[in-house]
Chains A and B, each alone.
Chain A
Amino acid sequence: MTECDVLVIDDEPVVREGVRRVLEASGLRVATADDATSGLRHPALAVCRLVLCDVMLPDRSGIDVLNELARARPGLPVVLITGYATPDLAERAQEAGAAAFLAKPFEASELMECVRRALEVRAPQEERAWRS
């Protein structure tokens, strides 16, 4: 499990597997978790370069995961995905330092575009985290 680029946390199997298929086709290595607790304990978290996390998880919210990760792995880009994107949620996600916000449902190309950008901005994000 040390070989991983993206960790996907979503309670919906079809979303997890769909994202895995699209990302793996682009050569990214993907690990998945179905709730916040197992995601935050996932061994892939130590090595991955990006986390895709659903906002509405059965045990905790994606914002919580985002905050946990900011402590555990500062600078790791996190993309929040949600089926219920309110401006309020978008604002909270931005304040918590989400790399991007992806509204369900999305096309494969939209997903790839979002992931690519998140991976690109990794460097400046890490820099900022380090400075603060």
Chain B
Amino acid sequence: MHTRIGVQIVAAVGLVTALGIALLATVTLRTHRREMIAQLTRSADLLSETVKRSTEDYMLENRREYIRRQIETIGRQERIERVRVFNKQGRIVFSSDPTEVGQALDKRAESCFACHAQDRPLEQPPVQDRARIFTNGSGHRVLGIVNPIQNQPACASAVCHAHAPDERVLGVLDVTMSLADVDQQIAASRNRIIALAGGCIAVAGLLLWALSRRLVSRPVEALAAGTRRVAAGDLTTTIPAGARNELGELARAFNAMTARLAEDQRQLTQADKLASVGRLAAGVAHEINNPLTGVLTYASFLLDRAQENAELHADLEVIVRETKRCREIVRGLLDFARQTPPRRQPTDLNTVARRAVAVVMNQLQLAHVGLTLDLTTDLPPVQADPNQMQQVLVNLLLNAADAIGERGGTIRVASRQAQLAARGHEPIRRAACPKGCDLLDPGTRVGGLYAIRILREYRGREWGYCLDPVYGRFNHVAPEPWEEGVIAPAACPRCRTTLVEPEGTCERCQAPTLAVLGPNDEPIQWCTRTGCHFTRWAAREQRGPAPVVEISVEDNGRGIAREHLPKLFEPFFTTKGVRGTGLGLAITWGIVEGHGGTIEVDSEPDAGTRFTIRLPLEDAEPVRSAA
């Protein structure tokens, strides 16, 4: 049976508290009662002594009538139940209740028992032994105290000569007092203590319940709910981890675990997606190419023989055209599935550009697209695979033509040599945390490059955050727009090591800096303040600008929507609907990346797009011949 942990704690602690309070109450009550009885015993003893002294003279003088009256008077007082005197034989000689005078008591009666418990009677027992508490005939508790009347020389020498001189005890004075008042008081204070204890237990229980709910139940419930959500597959789950105790620690560990799981899952999904594309492509190529060969062979064969029947010819043309489209899709898949390393050789990109233009010229003319070639004449050769680079340029040219559409427009292909400053251009191709975890995220691309994924704390929560992987550019990807000017510390999403530098300060705003380890473990810094554009890669800055060959394809077509830009190079991302496979730019990106180059896209909706490819010149060999 499921019992809530709060209830269990309250029950356990409540029981202990209740037992403690009950014990305390019992001890207090007992002490209180004992003290009251002791006090009453003392006053009864005093009273008994007073009676004895006040009647002593009368006894000596044997004035029995006075004694009887005095005893009756005293016996009428409130709280005094009875006063009586026994003689040595146990016979009642005087009593405040005249009816019992003359009766004899057995030595075993309660009033005799104190002294006669043993064979030889005590003569002057201590007061607590002479006192006894018993219930009288009417059901009240009473306190009785006996007081032996010692023989005195005067007793034997008095005129009456009632007692022999060798007797030590002549009789007993027995005073009994009602305990009704005392019992009532004790009962009242017992009730008070019980009420107080009950109240204490209730308040303590309530307090415990509230505390356990706040400190235990709620965090545990949140943790359980979070675990259920994670079990159901929601890895974006985070639970509040405000408490600075073990449960808060558990919540933080839980959040770290889910973040880590989400991260791993995302990377696995991405890797899985690519692997399945590869398998799919190979499978599709095998399975579809054979039937496709049948369709294309027969259809094109039929087309050749149907020249005289215009209608049939037109229909067959559709079949051939669409089958060839299928062929292109399958080839695209295959190209994507097996991106081979480039076979580099000194290559003149101008020649490659002209060849690419020649390949697409027919299509461009049909679509009324003008083409401008703006190629620098003395372009140095770069180390590149001319076939792959041609594929890249053909792809970009066809995309440009598609962007222009049917309304007509111009494509400009330009090449030039440039000195590329690191800031704003240099891709960061390695990023690691101080413990060496790889921070590059193949699942998130910024301008085609793997983004640098870190964890940032913003407004008391941790968020996955992607830094722009181009040094000096700030197209960071935040999970949602963040307010500027907030200091958001950073950590590694895998091992959670902080990335905030202990002594780093931003040159612009004095906020702490964060740093990742770039290529050759060179630190690259950013400011932790949102919106602050400070970054420094000191080692790269020292090396100065790098020579590159740049080739760009620019169109004045419809442009690319801003929200599409980050996804542009992802496989299967397409804005062309059924006319695209979403593989062209993914392949393009792969080829340029394989060359150690960069591809950059600038686009303005309804104004045009420019793709710029930059290949490094530094490792280019000298041209073998001038021809």
Instruction: Tell me which residues from 1 to 52 in chain A have a Cβ below 8 Å from any Cβ of chain B.
Output: 12, 14-15, 18-19, 21-22, 25
User: Could you tell me if A107 and B320 are in contact, using CB atoms closer than 8 angstroms?
Assistant: yes
- Taking a contact as CB atoms under 8 Å apart, the answer to whether B323 and A105 are in contact is yes
Contacts A83-B286, A86-B338, A87-B340 given; does A105 touch B296 at CB 8 Å: yes
Q: Which of A12, A14, A85, A108 has the most CB of B within 10 A?
A: A108
Interface residues of B in 336-363 (CB under 8 A from A): 338, 340
A-side contacts of B323, CB under 8 Å: 105
A-contacting residues, B273-304, CB 8 Å? 282, 285-286, 288-298, 300-301, 303-304
CA of A19 to CA of B297 in the docked complex: distance in angstroms? 7
**Closest CB of chain B to A6's CB: distance in Å?**
14
Contact B289 A105 (CB under 8 A): yes
Contacts of B286 in A (CB 8 A): 56, 83-84
**What are the residues of chain A within 8 A of B300 when measuring CB–CB?**
107-109
Q: A14-B291, A15-B290, A108-B304 are in contact. Are A83 and B297 (CB under 8 A)?
A: no
Query: Quick one: which of B290, B293, B304, B323 has the most chain A CB within 10 A?
Result: B293
Contacts of B327 in A (CB 8 A): 105
* Inter-subunit contact A104/B290 (CB<8 Å): yes
In this assembly, does B334 line the interface, its C-beta being within 8 Å of a C-beta of chain A?
Answer: yes
Give chain A interface residues in 36-83, CB to chain B under 8 Å.
Answer: 56, 83
User: Contact between B293 and A105 (Cβ–Cβ < 8 Å)?
Assistant: yes
**In the complex where A18-B301, A25-B301, A109-B304 touch, is A83 in contact with B285 (Cβ < 8 A)?**
yes
Shortest CB distance B295–A (Å): 7
A84 touches B294 (CB 8 A): no
Residues of A within 8 A of B291 (CB): 14
A130 contacts partner chain B, Cβ-Cβ < 8 Å: no
B residues within 8 A CB of A105? 289, 292-297, 323, 326-327
Give A90-108 as 1s and 0s: 1 = Cβ < 8 Å from B's Cβ atoms.
0000000000000011111
Smallest CB separation, B220 vs chain A (Å): 57
Min distance, Cβ A8 to any Cβ of chain B, angstroms:
12
A111 proximal to B (CB < 8 A): yes
Bound-state Cα–Cα, A87 to B300, Å:
27
Residues of B with C-beta under 8 A to A21: 297-298, 301
Instruction: Take A105-B323, A107-B320 as given contacts and tell me if A83 and B293 are in contact as well, using a CB distance cutoff of 8 Å.
Output: yes
Give bound CA distance, A111 to B293, whole Å.
11
> B298 contacts which chain A residues (CB < 8 A)?
18, 21
Residue-wise, chain B 186-219 has the 8 Å CB interface mask toward A (1 for contact) of 0000000000000000000000000000000000
Chain A residues contacting B334 (CB-CB under 8 Å) are 84-85
**Chain A contacts for B340, CB-based, 8 A:** 87
Bound-state Cα–Cα, A12 to B297, Å? 13
From B282, B293, B305, B338, A14 is in contact (CB under 8 Å) with B293
Residue from the list A15, A56, A84, A85 in contact with B293, Cβ < 8 A: A15
**Listed residue (A83, A87, A105, A108) with the most chain B CB atoms within 10 angstroms of its CB:** A105
Measured CA separation A100–B326 after assembly (Å): 23
Q: Is the CB of B301 within 8 A of A104?
A: no
Using A25-B305, A107-B297, A108-B301 as known contacts, list a sample of 9 further A-B pairs with CB atoms less than 8 Å apart, ordered by residue number in A.
Answer: A18-B301, A83-B286, A84-B286, A84-B334, A87-B340, A104-B289, A104-B293, A105-B296, A108-B304
Write 6 A-B pairs (CB below 8 A) sorted by A numbering: A21-B301, A25-B305, A83-B290, A84-B282, A105-B296, A109-B300
- Chain B interface (Cβ < 8 Å from any Cβ of A): 282, 285-286, 288-298, 300-301, 303-305, 320, 323-324, 326-327, 334, 338, 340
